[in-house]
Copies of this chain bind each other. A is one copy, B any other.
Amino acid sequence: MPTAPPRPAPALRPATRADLPAVLALLADEDRVVDPATVVVTEVYERAFAAIDADPRNELLVLPDGDGTVVGCLQATYIPGLGKGGAERALVEAVRIRPDRRGEGLGRALMDQAVDRARARGCALVQLTSDKRREDAHRFYAALGFARSHEGFKLALRALPGRPGRA
């Protein structure tokens, strides 16, 4: 029997309002699958999504599976600046692959396409930070060609509900 042709990598696309429960489910717990049907989309998240969606320098991007299920996400922010020959830099935050779908190359598909988007836009650089405790993520970014050249500093300004999201 002929083998099935390799499946094309799923295409990264901007999130719509309908993706919000799936994205919040991914952000809610990095290490456990959360059912989007259990996610309550409060007004705070409606407003935050609307702010991202309306900003031409912010994109919430989702990676759909073959059947359209969202299995990954990230947020890209394109930052104008005076360094880098006046080019924008892309900051990537909130990178997630659904925990039960890791090891299939989806993370690479997600990041490769995010980097391609930044390049097509004319960005000089893509940057991100990763929690020092997540050595697996550091190996992943190094394998994608990222240089671990900087220390990442964070200053919390107020106490926050623990989920979803983390610094």
Provide the main secondary structure of the chain A interface.
Answer: mixed
Size of the chain A interface, CB-CB below 8 angstroms: 65
**Copies of this protein, total:** 2
Q: A34 at the A/B interface (Cβ < 8 Å)?
A: no
For window 14-73 of A, CB contacts with B under 8 Å fall at: 23-24, 27, 44-45, 47-49, 51-52, 55, 57-58, 60
The 5 closest A-B pairs by CB, nearest first: A83-B165, A150-B152, A44-B86, A51-B80, A129-B150
- List 15 extra interface pairs beyond A48-B82, A85-B161, A125-B167, CB under 8 A: A23-B82, A27-B82, A27-B83, A48-B80, A60-B82, A75-B82, A82-B165, A83-B165, A84-B165, A126-B157, A129-B150, A132-B148, A148-B151, A150-B154, A152-B152
